[in-house]
């Protein structure tokens, strides 16, 4: 919910702060006083294009700052939390979120969210689920095919179905692109496949083992020094264990020394004797291991040649496929996987063609169901909006929602089979949705961009929002001049509809009609001073008698007893009407 709006140097507004009601807030004032700048300011927050001409004359920039309260008792909507987290912004200590926009006199625009400078697109992304601005110019969004299709989808309740359609379409396009790429690059793929297969065959013929190159280096070193190793081990063994021709071996000498120390009976020498006996056992163990080592030193002159040849084979693989044998094995695994992806065999292509065809048929089935639901909902939406317009001074007008498709062709890569024909499958389905208006019986059926004036377009938006109240996720709705060109009972009906809409949404309205303003929960008046400036003191919250005086001014410009009595009657009637007017539900 929008809690506060602050405007600085925008249009005729010097500075203004408006605290919004959770329900229905109305802004009134004399023509030219700047009340429409409220809508302009909110449009800037919603991502509207910046206009340097809106900067107050003589100032460097205009600024708009909004403070948003959490949407639920648990915090902001997940989409809002995600947008804020993505830019590193944060909420204030009181739990509110500040979003701001500045527009320089040079036309440059900057945006801030949660204390962080952000791209304008981020601010628009934040505002999309929070606020919808329906002004005479801002309602232009309804003139585009995308928003019109989105309006129908919300009413039909097929938003999740559209998301599923998009996933299927993306899969179909990926498969089709893969098939096309395989066909067009078949020669390159075949050459790459041949290279990979040759490399794998060479590696498989050598059959290297992980770490084998390091093991062979150790074995070559040992084989090349075989005589030296044998001599050293034999001499060491002889010194430890002795033989018939040798002097007393080291183990025997140590053992004898231990016996001599034991013989004298001295405790300290006995302790040393124990250490000598332990050393004697160690020497005997080493002698035994040396004997075993000598037995492994087979004098096989052919072994060294075999190992050197094996090393040469491995070095050849390493030169071509990796910096060591582990890298060669990794290349082989990667090449085997790549071969699966490069498979251009007839069987593989046939299998992929079948996948593409099935994905295309499935997309056509889903698109057909989605189109049927849209067509059914379009008739109901047009009927309900037309009924709403009858209460908004457009009783002779009729709104229709047309759902059509572009014919396709089997040869067109963007077409899918639907029922017994072919249709072009766009990002959101096969349908082209257009809202059209018949201004009066006998008038031509025209797109609302051509058939509705600014005020009529705002009223069409209001009628749509009333009908879509249950389905619309946007919490704050802003209307500017929705009552243009109407008066009397029609104006009262517009006020009642806005009050009904405020039962489920926050509604902000700029109006010049007392019949509409009387329904508001909170009423602000924008006045310019004698110099044409609007500061904080010139934006007043009016209640009680002050509000009666403002309504009397709006009714006829006088503040006499009759006008005041009329204003009191409007307020009393608005209270009764608001409590008795049900909000038309979607469906």
pLDDT of the chain, 587 residues: tens digit per residue: 899 999 998 888 888 899 999 999 999 887 766 777 888 888 898 888 888 888 988 899 999 999 999 877 767 878 888 888 888 888 888 889 999 999 999 889 999 999 899 998 888 888 888 888 776 555 556 677 888 898 899 899 998 999 999 999 999 999 999 888 877 777 777 788 888 989 999 988 888 888 888 888 877 777 666 656 666 766 777 777 776 555 567 777 888 888 888 777 788 888 888 888 888 888 888 878 877 776 776 666 667 677 778 888 888 888 888 888 888 889 999 898 888 777 666 677 788 899 999 999 999 999 999 999 999 999 999 999 999 888 787 889 999 999 999 999 999 999 999 988 999 999 999 999 999 999 889 889 988 878 777 667 777 877 887 888 766 668 888 888 777 666 777 788 888 888 988 888 899 998 888 999 999 999 999 887 766 666 666 788 999 999 999 999 888 766 778 888 888 888 888 876 655 555 544 44
Name the pTM for this structure: 0.62
From CA 498, how far away is CA 533, in angstroms rounded?
30
Give the separation between CA 149 and CA 142, rounded to whole angstroms: 10
User: What does the alpha-carbon distance between residue 534 and residue 145 come to, in Å, rounded to a whole number?
Assistant: 39
**Interatomic CA distance for residues 173 and 363, integer angstroms:** 11
Burial status of residue 387 (CB atoms within 10 A of its CB: 0-12, 13-18, 19 or more): middle
Give the CA distances from residue 398 to residues 373, 387, 414, 456, 494, in Å, rounded to whole numbers and listed in that order.
22, 8, 35, 12, 17
- Residue 87's contacts (CB-CB under 8 Å, 6 or more residues apart) are 113, 114, 116, 118, 122
Helix (H, G, I), strand (E, B) or coil at 417: strand
d(CA 317, CA 106): 66
Q: In whole angstroms, what is the distance from residue 65 CA to residue 80 CA?
A: 17
Length of the chain measured in residues = 587
DSSP tag of 114: T
Q: Which secondary structure element, helix H or strand E, spans residue 149, and what is its range?
A: helix 145-156
CB atoms near residue 149 (< 10 Å): 22
CB crowding 496-533: b at 16 or more within 10 Å, else e: bbbbbbbeebbbbbbbbbbbbbbbbbbbbbbbbeeeee
What does the alpha-carbon distance between residue 392 and residue 507 come to, in Å, rounded to a whole number? 17
Longest CA–CA span in the chain (Å) reads 144
**Residue 514 DSSP one-character state:** H
Half-sphere CA count of 450, side-chain side, radius 13 A: 8
Based on its alpha-carbon atoms, the radius of gyration of the chain, rounded to whole angstroms, reads 44
Do the bridges between strand 476-480 and strand 421-424 make them parallel or antiparallel, or are there none, so unpaired? Answer: unpaired
DSSP H helices, 157-300, are: 159-184, 186-206, 212-224, 226-241, 250-263, 267-296
Rounded to 10 deg, the angle between the 488-501 and 454-467 helix axes is: 40
Q: How many Cβ atoms sit within 10 Å of the Cβ of residue 556?
A: 12
């Amino acid at each position: 919910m929008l809690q506060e709006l602050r405007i600085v140097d925008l249009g005729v507004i010097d500075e203004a702060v408006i605290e919004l009601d959770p329900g229905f807030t109305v802004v009134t004032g004399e023509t030219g006083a700047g009340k429409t700048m409220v809508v302009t300011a909110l449009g800037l927050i919603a991502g509207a294009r910046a206009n340097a001409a809106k900067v107050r004359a003589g100032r460097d920039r205009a600024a708009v700052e909004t403070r948003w309260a959490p949407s639920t008792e648990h915090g902001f909507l997940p989409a809002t939390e995600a947008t804020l987290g993505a830019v590193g912004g944060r909420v204030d200590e009181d739990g509110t979120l500040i979003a701001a926009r500045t527009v320089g006199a040079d036309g440059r625009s900057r945006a801030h969210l949660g204390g962080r400078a952000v791209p304008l697109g981020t601010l628009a992304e934040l505002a999309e689920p929070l606020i919808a601005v329906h002004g005479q110019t801002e309602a232009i969004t309804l003139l585009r095919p995308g928003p019109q299709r989105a309006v129908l989808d919300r009413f039909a309740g097929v938003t999740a179905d559209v998301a599923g359609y998009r996933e299927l379409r993306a899969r179909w396009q990926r498969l089709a692109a893969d098939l096309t790429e395989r066909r067009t690059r078949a020669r390159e793929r075949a050459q790459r496949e041949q290279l990979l297969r040759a490399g794998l065959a060479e590696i498989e013929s050598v059959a290297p083992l992980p770490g084998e190159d390091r093991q062979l280096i150790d074995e070559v070193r040992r084989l090349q020094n075989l005589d030296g190793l044998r001599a050293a081990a034999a001499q060491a063994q002889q010194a430890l264990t002795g033989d018939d021709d040798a002097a007393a071996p080291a183990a025997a000498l140590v053992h004898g020394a231990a016996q001599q120390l034991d013989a004298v009976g001295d405790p300290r020498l006995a302790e040393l004797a124990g250490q000598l006996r332990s050393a004697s056992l160690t020497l005997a163990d080493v002698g035994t291991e040396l004997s075993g080592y000598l037995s492994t030193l087979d004098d096989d002159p052919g072994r060294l040649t075999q190992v050197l040849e094996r090393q040469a084979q491995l070095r050849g693989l390493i030169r071509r496929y990796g910096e060591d044998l582990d890298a060669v094995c990794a290349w082989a695994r990667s090449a085997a996987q790549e071969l699966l992806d490069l498979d251009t065999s007839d069987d593989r292509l046939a299998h992929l063609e079948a996948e593409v065809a099935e994905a295309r048929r499935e997309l056509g089935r889903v698109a057909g169901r989605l189109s049927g639901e849209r067509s059914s909902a379009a008739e109901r939406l047009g009927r309900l909006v037309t009924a709403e317009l009858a209460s908004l001074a457009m009783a002779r007008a009729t709104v229709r929602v047309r759902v059509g498709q572009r014919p396709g062709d089997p040869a067109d890569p963007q077409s899918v089979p639907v029922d017994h024909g072919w249709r072009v499958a766009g990002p959101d389905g096969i349908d082209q949705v257009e809202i059209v208006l018949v201004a009066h019986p006998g008038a031509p059926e025209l797109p609302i961009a051509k058939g509705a004036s600014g005020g009529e377009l705002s009223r069409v938006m209001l009628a749509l929002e009333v009908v879509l109240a249950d389905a619309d996720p946007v919490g704050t709705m802003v209307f500017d001049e929705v009552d243009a060109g109407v008066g009397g009972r029609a104006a009262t009906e517009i006020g009642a509809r806005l009050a009904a809409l405020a039962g489920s949404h926050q509604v902000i309205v700029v109006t010049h009609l007392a019949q509409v303003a009387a329904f508001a929960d909170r009423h602000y008046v924008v006045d310019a001073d004698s110099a044409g400036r609007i500061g904080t003191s010139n934006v007043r919250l009016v209640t009680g008698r002050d509000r009666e005086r403002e309504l009397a001014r709006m009714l006829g410009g006088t503040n006499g007893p009759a006008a005041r009595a009329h204003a009191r009657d409007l307020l009393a009637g608005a209270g009764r009407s608001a409590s008795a007017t049900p909000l038309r539900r979607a469906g």
